[in-house]
Amino acid sequence: MRVMILAKSQPGSENPTNPTTEAVAAYWRYHEELVAAGILLAGDRLHPSSEAARVRFEGTSRTVTDGPFTEAKELVAGFWIWQVRSLDEAIEWLKRAPYDGGEFEIRQIFDQPTAG
Amino acid sequence: MESPRLVAALTRIVRDVGLAEDLAQDALEAALRQWPDAGIPDRPAAWLMGTAKHRAIDALRRRTTLQRKAEELGRDLELDQGTQRDLDTEIDNAAIGDDLLRLVFICCHPVLSIEGRVALTLRLLGGLATDEIARAFLVSESTIGQRIVRAKRTLSEARVPFEVPQGADFDARLASVLQVVYLIFNEGYSATSGDVWVRPALCEDALRLGRVLAGLVPEEPEVHGLVALMEIQGSRMRARTDPTGRPIRLLEQHRARWDRLLIDRGLAALARAESFEGPHGPYVLQAGIAACHARARIADETDWPRIVALYDALAQLTPSPIVELNRAVAVSMAYGPAAGLELVDALATEPSLMAYHLLPAVRGDFLMKVGRFDEAASELARAASMTRNVPERNLLLERSRAAGQAALDARER
């Protein structure tokens, strides 16, 4: 099964201060472990919402709102797509990510028809 | 999650894959007991490895009754003390990669039966439980358990060294590894028996093994070729069956349902494989064929002459009736069903295809296209009687009936 990990932005993370060299190194070590285990399919950080837009649908009308968006809790700052055997495996891997703050959400992706 | 790495490192120390697996299991269980109270250690992998290695030393001490064992113990203890220092500081990822690669090679060692290789690979490298493997292959748990026990015993009795083969041996041994991984993929991709035609979880396990392998031996084009092949074939998974589980043939699939992420990953892996010097191996060629389909936005855009050329190269490299059969299909698409039929008729007496249901299935298809409906109906019915897979059989019976109807219609005109 596949999961999408959504990294929620926290106050300040929309415009992060430069992370330390150690933090970057720890992140890449973790990233390499994900690749070596064959589970990382895709992923990236997202630009801050000041460079984003929203499109709201109401019947036939489309309303476009330019960023930045203020309700920080609802903002996604980055994502991964992982291939794992179970939600538990995803949780185990995510718990090992070298972060000391923030919130991540693991969502299961609808992919295969349930033939097996 | 850590289990394959643990088993690999421990096998190097205790020289017994069965014992290594037990020790790894012990360490994982200790972690489950201790971590909730004591908290997760800073370096969980190092903690697990340290715990497991201490247990390995204990286990070796208990086996000192025989002099031979005592000698082994001396050697292994020395070895362990040598590695003890870096253990507490940092796990050497490169060293673990080496151990993992050694584990890959012994799991797929030619001294084992194919079934043994598959079971051991899924168990030790895929980290699947025995009952999961049993479910995937529709055999009883005790059968898989026995296969694994027998495989471990064979490795131990044959004193198979825990090493990466060198020189000319390497290519043959790597071929065995790739074969095992692709076999696992194929059993998931089109199950040889049972009520469902595809078992996506098994394909995912094979893909993960392939990606891990590509990281361990990045200089081997065939590994990237196999990964490319599996990624591209896997990209069609959700388009290959209808909601009732009935197979949909490649050219009739909704290409919008193909998985772009896997196609892109597959094409990238293929590009990597093709970037190496020298002639392409069988997996790179097969991935090249799969890529021809993946690149075509609609079936009519498929570059069939290129596919025929790739099959020509494949047939020269690994001549087999099955490759010939696939080549015949490509030829029929590139140059018409009559040309394909000619090639397939030449395979009719091929002993190795006597029980292969796709031969009459393909021949039936060609006969249908050239308007020989009666023969098509009987070939398709024969194909249906030869497969043990229920959805596939139903599809063939349906096509046989359609051919029979076409024969009737033709007579009435």
Q: Does residue B261 carry a pLDDT above 90? A: yes
Of A1, A37, A92, the CB nearest to B212: A37
Residue B388: count of CB within 10 angstroms of its CB: 11
Q: State the pLDDT at residue B188.
A: 84
* Alpha helix stretches (DSSP H) within B217-303: 221-235, 260-274, 282-295
**pLDDT, mean over chain B:** 87
Tell which A residues from 55 to 114 touch B, by Cβ distance under 8 Å. 81, 83, 85, 89, 92-93, 95-96, 111-113
C-alpha distances in angstroms, B90 versus A112, B57, B80, B254, B372? 39, 20, 15, 50, 70
Amino acid letter, B316 = Q
Three-state secondary structure call for residue A100: coil
Q: Does residue B312 carry a pLDDT above 80? A: yes
Q: Which of B199, B211, B241, B272 should one mutate to test binding to chain A, selecting the residue with the greatest count of A CBs within 10 A?
A: B211
Q: Tell me how far apart the alpha carbons of residues B138 and B135 are, in angstroms, rounded to a whole number.
A: 5
At CB < 8 Å, which residues of chain B contact A?
1, 40, 44, 93, 97, 127, 188, 196-202, 204-205, 207-212, 215, 237-238, 241, 243, 245, 259, 261-262, 265
- With b for 16 or more beta-carbon neighbours within 10 A and e for fewer, the B172-181 pattern comes to ebbbbbbbbb
Lowest mean pLDDT among B32-46, B208-222, B293-307: B32-46
* A90, closest residue in chain B (CA to CA): B1
Contact B188 A36 (CB under 8 A): no
Contact B1 A37 (CB under 8 A): yes
Q: Does residue B323 carry a pLDDT above 60? A: yes
Q: Does residue B79 carry a pLDDT above 60? A: no
Amino acid letter, B110 = P
Q: State the pLDDT at residue A17.
A: 66
Q: Tell me how far apart the alpha carbons of residues B303 and B310 are, in angstroms, rounded to a whole number.
A: 11
pLDDT digits (tens, 9 = 90+) for B367-413: 999 999 999 999 999 999 998 888 889 999 999 999 999 999 988 87
Q: State the pLDDT at residue A40.
A: 94
* Alpha helix stretches (DSSP H) within B90-165: 93-107, 114-120, 130-137, 141-157
Nearest partner of A116 among B388, B357, B233, B241, judged by Cα = B241
Q: Does residue A13 carry a pLDDT above 90? A: no
Of B198, B261, B262, the CB nearest to A115: B198
Three-state secondary structure call for residue B347: coil
pLDDT digits (tens, 9 = 90+) for B20-29: 888 888 888 8
How many beta-carbon pairs under 8 angstroms link A with B?
63
Lowest mean pLDDT among B72-76, B118-122, B230-234, B399-403: B72-76
Question: For residue B390, what are its two tokens?
Answer: 């229920």
**What is the four-CA torsion angle of B236, B240, B245, B246, rounded to 10 degrees?**
-170
> Is there a contact between A111 and B238 (Cβ–Cβ < 8 Å)?
yes
Q: Tell me how far apart the alpha carbons of residues A11 and A102 are, in angstroms, rounded to a whole number.
A: 9
Q: Is the pTM of this model over 0.80?
A: yes
B282-288 mean pLDDT: 97
Percent of chain B beyond pLDDT 70? 89
